[in-house]
Amino acid sequence: MAPPTLAWTGDAATGHLVLLDQTRLPLDVTQCVCRQLEDVVEAIQSLRVRGAPAIGVAAAYGVVIGLQTARDASRREFDERLEEVRSILAASRPTAVNLVWALTRLAQTARDHPELPAPDVHDRLLLEAAAIMDEDRQTCEDIGRHGAALLANRTGVLTHCNAGGLATAGSGTALAVLFAAADLGAELRVYVDETRPLLQGARLTTWELTRYGIPNTLICDSMAAWAMQQGRVEAVITGADRIAANGDVANKIGTYSLAVLAREHDVPFFVAAPQSTFDLSIESGDEIPIEERDGAEITHGFGRQTAPDGVDTWNPAFDVTPARLITALVTEHGVIQPVSTARIAQVLCLDGGRR
């Protein structure tokens, strides 16, 4: 059995975060240990831990680690260090909103207890990080339960990148829907985009689906249109890294093109994500920052040069799919369909304030 995506060992004062190193999968199941703030930042930036919910959990524990050196300081010095740690972690990856959401939640926990000395606040922050992880596990189950009905009477399903247990603390978002549907008896055949340039679909999603016993077929990203035209794909489901108030979705690069293809071929396009992935401070996807990564990921993929020296590159890690191309959003609170600002507010119970 593979180790969990994330695990905490020890107390707030001396504990550490243990991650399943996703850069080594699928051939090498290896853990990496984060004992310092720099270790957590490196793990997030290098994609040892990835997926919006998992990044949020890792960042929460990163705050605890980053404050270990200030545990015995004055409360003022502790709070100053907290803000410094938050800033460092927030800059590690800009697109996934769960990162900032988790950091904000821990900062609020500290603000809620101004009377406590630093060690007591530090202990509470560890409890809050653990709560975020536990809640994410339950959220994954709820997303799967709500989304399974969308795949009823569908066999061929296409997914992109990795939105499974490796991207969360639980069973995933998009893959949680597939797992739940399979548990209910759906006879699925999942088509998995390889997901260039880092092959998260090939390396991670096929690994998870195979371990779960769901038949899957790996295809190149450029084969998706033909698979739809040939009638192999009856639905598309992906995860998300940030969802704007109007339902525009930022996800792994290549998601937008799949949504366009799905519309052309009259294939429903679903997105599964927790409420923490919604960024209601922005009206549309035009405001979502898009991370751009090193061009060497394209020219020297996995250490092998595949392009001439000095070639120009452009390597956005994400794109934005307009809400008009999305059939439904699946959340832990239910299915959002049609995808609109009003329907999002209704399902997430935002009329009376955020849950």
Average pLDDT estimate for 15-29: 97
Average pLDDT estimate for 261-268: 98
Query: Same structural domain for residues 47 and 116?
Result: yes
The band of 109, judged by pLDDT with boundaries at 50, 70 and 90, is: very high
Query: Same structural domain for residues 280 and 339?
Result: yes
Assigned domain for 131 exists: yes
More confidently predicted of 350 and 94 = 94
Query: Same structural domain for residues 137 and 158?
Result: no
**Pairing relationship of beta strands 235-238 and 269-272 according to DSSP bridges:** parallel
Tell me the β-bridge partners of 16. 9
% of the chain with per-residue pLDDT over 90: 96
- Please check the confidence at residue 354 and state whether its pLDDT lies above 60: no
Evaluate whether 260 touches 197 at the Cβ level (below 8 Å). no
Please report the beta strands in 67-201, taking only residues with DSSP state E, as ranges in sequence order. Answer: 156-159, 189-193
Assigned domain for 352 exists: no
Q: Among 87, 112, 141, where does a domain finish?
A: 141
Query: Same structural domain for residues 306 and 185?
Result: yes
Query: Same structural domain for residues 103 and 158?
Result: no
- Please check the confidence at residue 353 and state whether its pLDDT lies above 50: no
Q: Among 75, 109, 141, where does a domain finish?
A: 141
Assigned domain for 353 exists: no
Angstrom CA distances, 231 to 107, 186, 257, 266, 293, stand at 50, 18, 18, 11, 35
Average pLDDT estimate for 305-327: 98
Assigned domain for 354 exists: no
The band of 351, judged by pLDDT with boundaries at 50, 70 and 90, is: low
Tell me the β-bridge partners of 270. 237, 328
Cβ burial, residue 133 (10 Å; 0-12/13-18/19+): buried
The band of 352, judged by pLDDT with boundaries at 50, 70 and 90, is: very low
Assigned domain for 355 exists: no
Query: Same structural domain for residues 111 and 221?
Result: no
- Please check the confidence at residue 297 and state whether its pLDDT lies above 90: yes
Assigned domain for 75 exists: yes
Query: Same structural domain for residues 292 and 230?
Result: yes
Rounded CA gap, 291 and 105, in Å? Answer: 23
pLDDT digits (tens, 9 = 90+) for 32-89: 999 999 999 999 999 999 999 999 999 999 999 999 999 999 999 999 999 999 999 9
Average pLDDT estimate for 156-162: 98
- Please check the confidence at residue 355 and state whether its pLDDT lies above 50: no
pLDDT digits (tens, 9 = 90+) for 210-245: 999 999 999 999 999 999 999 999 999 999 999 999
pLDDT digits (tens, 9 = 90+) for 160-210: 999 999 999 999 999 999 999 999 999 999 999 999 999 999 999 999 999
Domain of 152: which CATH number?
3.40.50.10470
Q: Tell me how many domains the chain contains.
A: 2
% of the chain with per-residue pLDDT over 70: 98
Q: Among 87, 107, 141, where does a domain finish?
A: 141
Assigned domain for 158 exists: yes
Active site residues: 241
Domain of 96: which CATH number?
1.20.120.420
Containing domain of residue 311, as a range? 144-347
What does the mean pLDDT of the chain come to? 96
End-to-end Cα, the chain, rounded Å: 36
Query: Same structural domain for residues 317 and 183?
Result: yes
Cβ burial, residue 155 (10 Å; 0-12/13-18/19+): middle
Rounded CA gap, 323 and 303, in Å? Answer: 37
Query: Same structural domain for residues 102 and 219?
Result: no
Query: Same structural domain for residues 194 and 297?
Result: yes
Assigned domain for 65 exists: yes
Query: Same structural domain for residues 114 and 251?
Result: no
Query: Same structural domain for residues 27 and 167?
Result: no
The band of 2, judged by pLDDT with boundaries at 50, 70 and 90, is: confident
